[in-house]
């Protein structure tokens, strides 16, 4: 017999602080007892927690629309392009963006990724201590992304990176969150300025590409250009930061995994997929039902909001054996949902994989004995849409620098957490 909302209403929602309820435990309970549950919080929404259910929601783009914002509740005043679009507009955007994000195109960033990885490790290697988040996992993806985009003022990279990390990393009201809100407004105005420069003086970079982006034969409006670039940058910053920091702390806690990856570097491609499965940066994404859908044994009505819980799907025992264990031998064949599925599968997946692989491997090569200060590690207070670590201090045996960096390089003045 089909069930209605009242039959499957639960006293849980995905914004409960981690200190009150571990989300992995909560989702495991839902998968076992009520894999498609209704919460009355945030205007009411469905939580889909099984692998099969999440895959259905993400692949059926006709019945589950993306136009209602990818978060519950929606991010106020934000439009995320092309994330918040359905076909045919979404197809037009992706067709234009895909060549810039192809595996071949991203491979060309390899030398710069190697450079920035060694650059930021060099900044801490001689002192024998660092914050794995603010010193390593945060600035490296930001530098690669912002240089690629064409953001010439490197002194602004730190503020941009920390703005989007701090929005998720700290509790509401924290001084870093308040500063981050100011940073979002500042970054939006700076994007408008940088795009205006590229209209006057076009070059071969992403900024110029966005100013010339045509959809249905017309250049998109300036407001949409700002939104596209904001998604391009933010998607390349804190998501990869979360994956890198969570993986580095995992490796500190599991020396047997660290030792194997050092001794068997050929494991990195499959290990990358396994870290993505176990520690997905984006835990969930939302859709809006456009028609009556029977999913499992429940009825979803048109207009209902639906949260596809990616982090839960990745831990479903019906999809993986020993799903909570990180298995370096699981192999790349164990498909995960960390990049989504269907037409909205993450366009930046090749960049994320390459950044994670290079940064994590290089840390193990140059700081192989790092030890994390467990008492000081802070996870995001809420692990709703995003999960990650706020800070993760570590110590290690000091080593030598490998790059010849000019003493007047402005990036040398970057101070973590300042």
Tokens of 415: 């101070």
The pLDDT assigned to 418 comes to 47
The pLDDT assigned to 76 comes to 74
Own/partner contacts of 370-377, CB < 8 Å, gap of 24 or more, are: 370/132, 370/248, 370/252, 370/394, 370/395, 370/396, 371/252, 371/395, 371/396, 372/132, 372/248, 372/249, 372/252, 372/253, 377/249
371-404: per-residue pLDDT in tens? 999 999 999 987 778 899 999 999 999 999 999 8
The pLDDT assigned to 406 comes to 75
The pLDDT assigned to 237 comes to 81
Give the residue extent of every domain in the chain: 5-413
Residue 293, CA atoms < 13 Å, CB-side half-sphere: 24
Planar angle of CA 86, 92, 97, nearest 5 degrees:
110
Tokens of 59: 């692949």
Tens-level pLDDT at each residue, the chain (418 residues): 898 899 999 999 999 988 899 999 999 999 999 999 999 999 999 999 999 999 999 999 999 999 978 899 987 777 888 999 999 999 999 999 999 999 999 999 999 999 999 999 999 999 999 999 999 999 999 999 999 999 999 999 999 999 999 998 998 899 999 999 999 999 999 999 999 999 999 999 999 999 999 998 999 999 999 999 999 898 878 899 999 999 999 999 999 999 999 999 999 999 999 999 999 999 999 999 999 999 999 999 999 999 999 999 999 999 999 999 999 988 755 689 999 999 999 999 999 999 999 999 999 999 999 999 999 999 998 777 889 999 999 999 999 999 987 766 766 655 544 4
At the second CATH level, the architecture of 5-413 is Orthogonal Bundle (1.10)
**Which residue in 282, 341, 301 sits closest to 45, CA to CA?**
301
Please, what sign has the CA dihedral across residues 285, 289, 293, 294? positive
Own/partner contacts of 90-95, CB < 8 Å, gap of 24 or more, are: 90/66, 90/343, 90/344, 91/343, 92/215, 92/216, 93/215, 93/228, 94/343, 94/347
β-strand partners of 299? 294
Residues 52, 305: Cα–Cα separation, whole Å:
18
The pLDDT assigned to 383 comes to 74
294-352: per-residue pLDDT in tens? 999 999 999 999 999 999 999 999 999 999 999 998 875 568 999 999 999 999 999 99
The contacts of residue 101 (CB under 8 Å, 6+ apart) are 347, 348, 350, 351
- Detail the DSSP E strand segments found in 64-196: 64-65, 129-131
């Amino acid at each position: 017999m089909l069930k209605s909302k009242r039959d499957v209403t639960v006293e849980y929602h995905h914004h409960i602080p981690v200190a009150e309820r571990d989300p992995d435990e909560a989702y495991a309970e839902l998968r076992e007892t009520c894999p498609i549950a209704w919460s009355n919080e945030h205007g009411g929404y469905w939580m889909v927690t099984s692998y099969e259910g999440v895959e259905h929601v993400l692949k059926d783009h006709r019945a589950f629309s993306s136009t209602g914002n990818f978060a519950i509740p929606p991010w106020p005043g934000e439009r995320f392009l092309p994330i918040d679009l359905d076909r045919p507009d979404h197809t037009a955007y992706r067709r234009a963006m895909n060549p810039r994000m192809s595996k071949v195109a991203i491979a060309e960033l390899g030398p710069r990724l190697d450079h920035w990885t060694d650059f930021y490790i060099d900044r801490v290697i001689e002192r024998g201590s660092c914050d794995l988040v603010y010193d390593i996992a945060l600035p490296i993806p930001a530098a690669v992304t912002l240089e690629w985009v064409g953001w010439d003022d490197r002194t602004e990279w730190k503020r941009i990176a920390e703005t989007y990390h701090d929005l998720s990393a700290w509790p509401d009201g924290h001084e870093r969150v308040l500063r981050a809100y100011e940073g979002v407004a500042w970054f939006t105005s700076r994007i408008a300025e940088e795009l205006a420069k590229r209209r006057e003086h076009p070059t071969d970079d992403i900024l110029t590409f966005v100013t010339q982006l045509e959809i249905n034969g017309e250049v998109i409006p300036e407001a949409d250009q700002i939104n596209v670039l904001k998604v391009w940058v933010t998607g390349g910053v804190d998501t990869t930061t979360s994956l890198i920091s969570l993986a580095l702390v995992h490796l500190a806690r599991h020396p047997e995994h660290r030792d194997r990856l050092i001794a068997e570097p050929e494991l990195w491609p499959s290990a990358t997929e396994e870290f993505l499965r176990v520690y997905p940066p984006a835990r969930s994404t939302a859709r809006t039902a456009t028609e009556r859908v029977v999913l499992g044994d429940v009825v979803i009505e048109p207009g209902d909001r639906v949260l596809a819980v990616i982090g839960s799907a990745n831990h479903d025992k019906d999809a993986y054996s020993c799903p909570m264990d990180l298995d370096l031998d699981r192999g790349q064949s164990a498909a995960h949902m960390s990049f989504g599925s269907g037409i909205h599968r993450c366009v930046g997946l090749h960049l994320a994989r390459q950044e994670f692989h290079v940064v994590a491997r290089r840390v193990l090569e140059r700081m192989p004995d790092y030890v994390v200060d467990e008492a000081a590690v802070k996870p995001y207070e809420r692990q709703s849409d995003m999960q990650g670590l706020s800070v993760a201090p570590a110590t290690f045996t000091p080593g030598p620098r490998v790059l010849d960096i000019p003493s007047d390089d402005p990036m040398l003045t970057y101070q973590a957490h300042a």
